[in-house]
Structure 1
Amino acid sequence: MRAGFPFAPPGMTVGLLGGSFDPAHEGHVHITDEALRRFGLDRIWWLVSPGNPLKPHGPAPLDERIARARRIMRDPRVEITGIEARLGTRMTRDTIAALQRLYPGVRFVWLMGADNLVQFDRWDRWQDIAARVPIGVIARPGWRMPARFSRAARLLWRARLPESRARELARARPPAWVMINLPLNKLSSTAIRVLGPKGR
């Protein structure tokens, strides 16, 4: 394994939570805790991205975002990483493919908020992502119904597992996805940025 990359032996189940984390906050901690429990994952890796091509404004420097994320997320099962910067990947599909090459035998699950499922069909090679890894969708305020009727959800409806089978997701053959409903936490990075230093 390359220096600076997380350790994961074959057979381990690892959730991948990508995002700008600009800044990381208790809402991210909340969905991570719930995903570990509800999907029965061994680990979750936060993939703090160099930048999001779907967002118009650039994030804070990567090192600052990683440092803040490590201060706020203290669970030893959660690894805060800048893997995409190390790999030189920008697109989710390329990141997942690279991780699958680096970690043969590890069972990865892509984690996303329900709001991301709504725009998932705009992602680069999104159907290849769905064909590579199971997807755990986490309900967020106001996005449950739009996500259920999104274009991606309609095209992948045969691959959807009921919420009662969420703990089977990591070992399901893709394409497979589950949407879980959580006690909702309305914190968002955008709201914290608007508040400025007091919000941080």
Structure 2
Amino acid sequence: MRRAGLPLTVPGLRVGLLGGSFDPAHAGHVHITEEALRRFGLDRVWWLVSPGNPLKAQGPEPLKKRIVSSRLIMQNPAVQITGLESDLGTRMTADTIAALQHLYPRVRFVWLMGADNLVQFDRWDRWQDIAAGVPLGILARPGWRMPARFSRTARLLWRNRIDQADARTLADQAPPAWCMINVPMSKQSSTAIRALRNMSAKKD
């Protein structure tokens, strides 16, 4: 049974999952989300605003604050801003995906991530389970196209790669399956925004 407060779906819906701290959310996140919707043929994208990133030493702004700011900047009605990991009590991506697939067994999920994350994907907890559980939609970012193509994960899963010309079929593919699309990318980053914000705070 679907828990109260979780997103509503219909059978067969193609949903992209974009996880991250969104600290803060910015135009670059909006851009890759809308590209993913269009290029991968998705019906929805759910932003999974995480309680915290285990690969980052410094914690983010409070979850509620990040969700509010994300909703202010992401105005596409096909995109839902959620705190699902907090709602589900999961911290690791593998657990989050497993929980969502249990709650929504007839939804076609695709895990979305930037090409920079593909480079370090083999460091993620149970990354093999993630790759075996859902198709992976990779969005190229400036400076990361070639490192991603020759990353350990890409080499291990090379036979499971979907050509970007067939990107719209990704949600229908049986995992493991992954597709990397090259798109004009915004160079704006949350790290740069935080650095500017900290500099302004010091000047004040």
Q: TM-score, normalised by structure 2?
A: 0.96
Cα distance, 1:3 vs structure 2: 1.2
**Structure 1 consecutive aligned stretches of length 4 or more whose deviation exceeds 4 Å:** none
Residues 104-129 of structure 1: CA deviation (Å, up to 9, x unaligned): 11000000000000000000000110
Residue 26 of structure 2: aligned partner: 25
Aligned equivalents of 1:197, 1:54: Cα separation in 2:
21
CA RMSD of the aligned region, Å?
1.1
Residue 108 of structure 2: aligned partner: 107
Residue 42 of structure 1: aligned partner: 43
Residue 62 of structure 2: aligned partner: 61
Instruction: Spell out the pairing of 1:87-106 with structure 2 (5 A cutoff).
Output: 87-106=88-107
Helix, strand or coil at the partner of 1:5 = coil
Cα distance, 1:198 vs structure 2: 9.2
User: In 1, are the aligned partners of 2:28 and 2:185 still within 8 Å (CA)?
Assistant: no
Q: Which consecutive residues of structure 2, in runs of 5 or more, have no partner in the other structure?
A: none
Residues 96-151 of structure 1: CA deviation (Å, up to 9, x unaligned): 00000000110000000000000000000001100000000000010000000000
- The one-letter code sitting in structure 2 at the alignment partner of 1:56 is A
Q: TM-score, normalised by structure 1?
A: 0.98
Instruction: Spell out the pairing of 1:1-200 with structure 2 (5 A cutoff).
Output: 1-196=2-197
Cα distance, 1:161 vs structure 2: 0.7
Residues 24-73 of structure 1: CA deviation (Å, up to 9, x unaligned): 00000000000000000000000000000000100000000000000000
